[in-house]
Amino acid sequence: MNNIRNFSIIAHIDHGKSTLSDRLIQTADIVSDRDFQDQILDTMDIERERGITIKSQTVCLPYTANDGNIYFLNLIDTPGHVDFTYEVSRALASCEGALLLVDASQGVEAQTLANLYLAMEHDLVIIPVINKIDLPSADAERVKKQINEDLGLDPETAILVSAKEGTGIDIVLEAIVKNLPPPSGDPGAPFKALIFDSHYDAYRGTIVHIRVFQGKIKAGNTIIFMSSQAAYKVEEVGVFQIERLPQNELTAGQVGYFIAGIKTVSDTRCGDTITIKDRPCDASMPGFKESKPVVFSSIYPVASDGYEELAVALEKLKLNDAALIYEKDTSKALGFGFRCGFLGLLHLEVVQERLEREYGLSLILTSPSVQYELIMTDGSKFTIDNPALYPDPSGIVQTKEPFIRAAIIVPDRYMGAVMNLCLDRRGINTNYQYLTSDRLEMIFEIPLAEIVYDFYDTLKSITQGYGSFDYDLLKFRETDLVKTDILINGERVDALSQLVHRDKAEKRARQVCGKLRDEIPRQMFKIAIQGAIGAKIISRKTISPFRKDVTAKCYGGDITRKRKLLEKQKKGKKRMKMVGQVMIPQSAFLAVLKTDTD
Amino acid sequence: MVCTAPFLFDTLYLGGGTPSLLEAEVIDSIIDAVRNRFKFLKAAEITVEVNPGAVTFGQLKTYHRAGANRINIGVQSFDQSNLDFLGRIHTADDAIYVLNASRKAGFENIGLDLIYGIPGQTVTSWLADLVKAVEFAPEHLACYMLTYEPKTPLSIARKKGRFNPLSKKIVFDLFETTLTFLTTNGYEQYEISNFSKKVIGSPGLRRSRHNQKYWSAVPYLGLGPSAHSFCSPKRQWNHRSVRRYINDLNNGVLPIMGQEVLTRSQRMIEAFCLGLRRKNGISFESFNQAFGVDFEQVIGDVIPDLEEKGLIKADQHHFALSQKGLLFLDSITEMFITHPAFSAGTRL
């Protein structure tokens, strides 16, 4: 056990986590250079393109240290986005140490801080690593100062690397061996392991990623999940070396996987504890909770006969995405679809993109909503996330909405801009403190509904990319909610209804009407687009009918140009959905989804 | 070149630019060379495009002798201020000279191009141009609406506020004036900007046979820099640079700058956008034949709707835009091509 090190890399998006992982893997020599592909742990196209890790991966690196001994370094990769904080915490719970990666030019950001707090909660030993020292804008001294002042870590222990150029990688590997403690745990005690991830394999079913804390596991054992008491017979155990490498057994301290004929990843719970049925351990690992979706949206196929295909695609996606939940939904305007729950807006976008890209579907998504708690006059209480199910408001006594605690770190010159943004989003500034002489951390309590649109993008743009953001969910608080409807030529389009705070309703309705006016093509008749609360019209836009054209001449050389113009128009208007008499392009629904700017 | 089938050509058009800048004998030898190299119908329509101020009676006579039987004159306007605005080198008198000289040289088929929508123009001043044009009884009239193509000197000048463009309303008034005036003066509008003199017993006789080819997806061969050739589904175009064009030919290479092979959906877009420009419109039968669909079954419901709005006229065999519909050419084209029945991925 002394030759095992279990560690994660914690970092803000873009600080180079994937590149550093690649270098560590390369140095450990388990992948031939020929097979090496940049960002080897990010296996999905979307992950590579967006530069984020959605599905974490684990890899066991054999490393011969300067002391001549061979060590097994288990790198447990973590998802890199605020939507996946719980998954990060489970991965960290499986480690003894962590590399804290900071970009030499960007410095410490909110997510770095949040993840560092998570790591500290698990008593991990932290090795600060300053990356991208090859950049001209790198300022390692300033970052060291931040590491000292913002994070309270010893700046002298920081290792300077350029993952891109491969400098400093050996020092990192040596530091992992020397400075991180080996795992502890009695191999002879009853088996106890933590599930920190799982993924689906088309041939073998669910591959469960575990960290063994005590005891041993091998093929033939019957294990039980402590949360559900479900029992499975283990078919195979092993470790990850990019590919799965079967082992006779996994013992205390090791990180690896087991396969036990589990059909979907939803049958396993990240953070759950497993043990062996015949000789169970006494208690579960602490900190288990079910990850709960916080953002909801309905997904409909554009093609009226696309429901079955969508159902099949969601089912397949769900095999590998335990956090995704869905149930059947119907809309008068859009037909059959699914109401889905997501961990956050990024999660929603990833699911949408995967459905479109990997399954070739054209989708319409309804405006994302959070969950509200309603207390009715008869004393009953229920939660609602779907505007279509919003009851008669006269029967509602009280409505509550979820709040978050947002931590934002910015250079102090953006303080005013951030303050305005958060106040505009109904936020309350509870606290702020200078981390260094010119950087401050601002804490806000903001309704979750206000951040599900484009909060993060707006924050990035008003702070010119310097603002960073992290959040925790708080309790529900009382609110004043209304349902805004959109009427097209007098017909209510249920898929465009939204639940909005009363103060925001008019502005929002106006924005939606404006977007629809821009996206819906002119037709032969005038189209009225109205926003309404109940019977009260709060905004109105019209699309005038066909417009007269200026006609150019059109001979041999003009034809291609003219056709290209028409092709462009056709592309913008493709995938139309007939709603009543009006054709609404998919782009109109998508534009509404993102609206929160004037 | 594009097509390999042996073709019988029935039109020849020397135009684009100002061919009359060439010596008349050169035009003569070009016509000769083309007629020797390709098979031509005896009664082929052979047009030479000329610009007033750049052609003499003597040249016109040579063209006629060489076999040209049609002259197309870029008059643009009889109003000096309009000619100045358009940057034309000729005067109204030059135009009148060419019109008279063409007749005298023996041409029985004369086409005349006019432009309207010029800043400062009014219905009255445009009517004066039309009246003047009709005085010469040309067999053919092309009336083009002034358009501001991106990046041209004209649209740059407009952006810089060098002049006040006409309001759209006036431009459309001028369009309607054109239609009303010409159709009551013995001309038929056979394409959105093209008019021909009605001949009793053979109303379409004076249409430009050549121009009609561009709108009906039949093959044509373009020679010279920038010229486009088409043989469905392929279109190709020559180098714009004269030097490159010559070099390629000297090196025994076809001077082709680009080509495209139209997909079915692209062909369909062209069928709509070109077909709807024409009085003949779109024939259900040829559309069905070209695209293997049953038009009426697929989007037949759109036709009565447009008919009711007075935008199209349809009978059993074809449909075409009405006079009112022509004003909405782009919107109606767009409506057809974005119709879900024709959208990508939808099986017909």
CB distance A559–B326 less than 8 Å? no
B243 burial via Cβ count (<10 Å: 0-12, 13-18, 19+): exposed
- How far is C-alpha A488 from the geometric centre of its chain's CA atoms? 34
The C-alpha angle with vertex A256 and arms to A250 and A258, in degrees rounded to 5, equals 80
Rounded to the nearest integer, the mean pLDDT of chain B is: 90
Lookup: tokens for B68 = 């040209």
First vs last C-alpha separation in chain A: 59
Ranges of beta strands (E only) in A242-395 are: 243-247, 249-251, 255-259, 273-276, 295-301, 325-331, 335-342, 363-365, 372-376, 381-384
The pLDDT of A42-65, averaged and rounded, is 65
Quick check: B344 pLDDT over 60? no
- State the DSSP string of B140-193: EEEEEEP---TTSHHHHHHHTTSS-PPPHHHHHHHHHHHHHHHHTTTEEEEETT
Q: Which two tokens stand for residue B336?
A: 């057809």
User: Does residue A43 register a pLDDT over 60?
Assistant: no
What is the pLDDT at residue B338? 79
Q: Averaged over A527-556, what is the pLDDT?
A: 88
Mean pLDDT of chain A: 86
Q: For residue B144, give the nearest of A553, A567, A573 by CB distance.
A: A553
Structure tokens of B255? 């001077």
Q: Which two tokens stand for residue B22?
A: 């060439």
- Residue recorded with tokens 């002042």: A149
Q: Chain A residues contacting B, CB < 8 Å? A: 303, 362, 521-524, 546-557, 559-560, 562-563, 566-567, 569-570, 573-576, 578, 583
A265 vs B306, which has greater pLDDT? B306
The answer, yes or no, to whether residue B97 has pLDDT greater than 80, is yes
Angle (deg, nearest 10), helices A307-319 and A345-359: 120
- What is the mean pLDDT of the segment spanning B201-217? 91
For the stretch A67-79, pLDDT in tens is 999 999 999 987 7
The beta-carbon neighbor of A549 closest among B228, B329, B338 is B329
Which pLDDT value is given to residue A273?
94
Which phi-psi region, left, alpha or beta, contains residue A246 (left: φ > 0; alpha: ψ -120 to 50)? Answer: beta
Mean pLDDT of A376-399: 92
**The pLDDT of residue A50:** 52
- pLDDT at position A589 is 82
| Torsion region of A215: left, alpha or beta (phi above 0 gives left; psi -120 to 50 gives alpha) | left
Q: What percent of chain B has pLDDT over 70?
A: 96
For residue A192 the two structure tokens come to 């106890």
- Residue A279 reports pLDDT greater than 90: yes
Measured between beta carbons, the chain B residues lying within 8 angstroms of A553 are 142, 144, 193
Average pLDDT over residues A525-531: 92
Phi, psi of A138 (to 5 degrees): -60, 140
Would you say A56 and A235 are in contact if contact means Cβ atoms under 8 Å apart?
A: no
Q: CA of B275, closest CA in chain A: separation in Å?
A: 11
Q: Is the dihedral of CA A412, A418, A420, A426 positive or negative?
A: negative
Q: Which two tokens stand for residue A447?
A: 């309704």
B338 CA to chain A: closest CA distance, Å? 5
How confident is the model at residue A527, as a pLDDT?
92
Window from A46-50, A195-199, B193-197 with minimum mean pLDDT: A46-50
Give the integer Cα–Cα distance in Å for A32 and A245. 16
Verify whether the Cβ–Cβ distance A553 to B142 is below 8 Å: yes
Residues paired with residue A576 on neighbouring β-strands, in sequence order: A585
CB atoms near residue A245 (< 10 Å): 13
Mean pLDDT of A229-253: 92
CA distance B129 to B123: 10
DSSP letter (8 states) at residue B57: H
CB contact under 8 A, B147 and A523: no
CB contact under 8 A, A548 and B237: no
Confidence of residue A503 (pLDDT cuts 50, 70, 90): very high
pLDDT of residue A152: 82
- Please give the pLDDT value at position B173: 93
Q: What is the pTM of this model?
A: 0.65
Residue of B nearest to A577 (CA): B340
B348 pLDDT above the threshold of 50:
no
CB atoms within 10 A of CB B3: 14
Percent of chain B with pLDDT over 90: 71
Contact status, residue A104 vs residue A133, Cβ threshold 8 Å: yes
Phi, psi of A176 (to 5 degrees): -60, -45
Q: Are B321 and B329 in contact (CB under 8 A)?
A: yes
Mean pLDDT of A465-469: 78
Instruction: Return the higher-pLDDT residue of A171 and A580.
Output: A171
pLDDT given for residue B111 in this prediction: 97
For residue B227, which residues of chain A lie inside 8 Å, CB to CB?
Answer: 556-557
Q: How far apart are CA A118 and CA A453, in angstroms?
A: 26
Contact A185, A214 (CB under 8 A): yes
Does pLDDT of A315 surpass 80? Answer: yes
For residue B277, give the nearest of A521, A554, A570 by CB distance.
A554
Interface with B, mutate which of A561, A563, A564, A567 (most B CBs under 10 A): A563
How far is Cα B340 from Cα A362, in angstroms, rounded to an integer?
14
Statement: residue B301 has pLDDT above 80: no
Among A236, A185, A210, A215, residue whose Cα is nearest residue A279:
A215
Which residues lie closer than 8 Å to A389 by C-beta, 6 or more apart? none
Residue A596 has pLDDT above 60, yes or no: no
The answer to whether the CB atoms of B269 and A563 lie below 8 A apart is yes
Q: Taking CB atoms and an 8 Å limit, are B168 and A559 in contact across chains? A: no
pLDDT, tens digit (0-9, with 9 covering 90-100), for B109-147:
999 999 999 999 999 999 999 999 999 999 999 999 998
Angle A56-A40-A266 from CA coordinates, rounded to 5°? 25
Residue contact A551–B329, C-beta within 8 A? yes
- Dihedral Cα A331, A337, A343, A346, nearest 10 deg: -90
- Count of residues making up chain A: 598
- How close A518 comes to chain B (CA, Å)? 15
- Residues near A116 by beta carbon (within 8 Å), at least 6 away in sequence: A10, A100, A126, A151
The mean pLDDT value for B68-80 works out to 95
- Which pLDDT band holds residue A298 (cuts at 50, 70, 90)? very high
Q: What span, in angstroms and rounded, lies between the C-alpha atoms of A537 and A184? A: 66
pLDDT top residue among A55 and B33: B33
Backbone angles phi and psi of B58, in degrees to 5: -60, -45
- Assess contact for A519 and A591: CB atoms under 8 A: yes
DSSP letter (8 states) at residue A191: P
Q: For the residues B78-86, what does the mean pLDDT come to?
A: 94
B269 vs A contacts (CB less than 8 Å): 563, 566-567, 570
Average pLDDT, integer, range B71-76: 96
DSSP string over B276-288: TTBSS-EEHHHHH
Say if residue A481's pLDDT is above 90.
yes
| pLDDT tens string B284-296 | 999 999 888 888 7
Are residues A569 and B334, on separate chains, in Cβ contact within 8 Å?
A: yes
Q: What is the mean pLDDT of residues B248-256?
A: 94
Mean pLDDT is lowest, of B57-61, B110-114, B298-302, for B298-302
Q: Which domains, from first to last, does chain B contain?
A: 8-212 (3.20.20.70), 222-261 (no CATH), 271-347 (1.10.10)
Name chain A contacts of B311, Cβ cutoff 8 Å: 524
Whether residue A37 is predicted with pLDDT greater than 60 in this model: the reply is no
Q: Helix B92-104 crosses helix B57-66 at what angle (to 10 degrees)?
A: 40
Q: Which residue type does A238 have?
A: G
Q: For chain A, which domains are there? A: 4-179 (3.40.50.300), 192-276 (2.40.30.10), 295-365 (3.30.70.870), 372-479 (3.30.70.240), 483-593 (3.30.70.2570)
- pLDDT above 80 (res A85): no
Q: What is the DSSP string of A493-525?
A: -GGG-EEEEHHHHHHHHHHHHHHHHHHSPP-SS
Does A341 score more than 60 pLDDT?
A: yes
Q: What number is the ipTM of this complex? A: 0.87
**CA B70, CA A174: separation in Å to the nearest integer?**
90
Residue A14 pLDDT greater than 90, yes or no: no
Question: Is pLDDT of A55 > 60?
Answer: no
Question: What pLDDT score does A54 carry?
Answer: 47
Paired with A542 in beta bridges are: A528
Is the predicted pLDDT of residue A47 greater than 70, yes or no?
no
Please name the residue ranges forming H helices in A167-244.
Answer: 169-179
| pLDDT for residue B335 | 84
Chain-chain contact of A548 with B327 (C-beta, under 8 angstroms): yes
* Predicted confidence (pLDDT) per residue in A344-375, tens digit: 887 888 898 889 888 888 888 888 899 999 99
Mean pLDDT (whole number) for B26-50 = 92
Provide the residue type at A13 as one letter: I
Chain A CA closest to residue B340: A576
If residue B23 lies in a helix (H) or strand (E), which one and from where to where?
Answer: none
Strand partners, A381: A375
CA distance A513 to B175: 35
pLDDT of residue A221: 95
Lowest-confidence pick of A49-58, A201-210, A362-371, B248-257: A49-58
- Please report which confidence band the pLDDT of residue A190 belongs to, taking 50, 70 and 90 as the band edges: very high
Q: Which residues contact B201 (CB under 8 A, 6 or more apart)?
A: none
pLDDT band, residue B345 (cuts 50/70/90): very low
Nearest-CB residue to A559 (from B117, B270, B329): B270
- Tokens coding A371: 């969950």
Query: How many percent of chain A have pLDDT more than 90?
Result: 43
Cβ separation of A557 and B211 shorter than 8 Å? no
**pLDDT over threshold 90, residue A150:** no
Size of interface A-B (CB pairs under 8 A): 104
With cut-offs at 50, 70 and 90, classify the pLDDT of residue A572.
low
pLDDT above 60: residue A34: no
B327 closest CB neighbour out of A549, A555, A573: A549
CA dihedral of residues A41, A47, A48, A51 (deg, nearest 10): -100
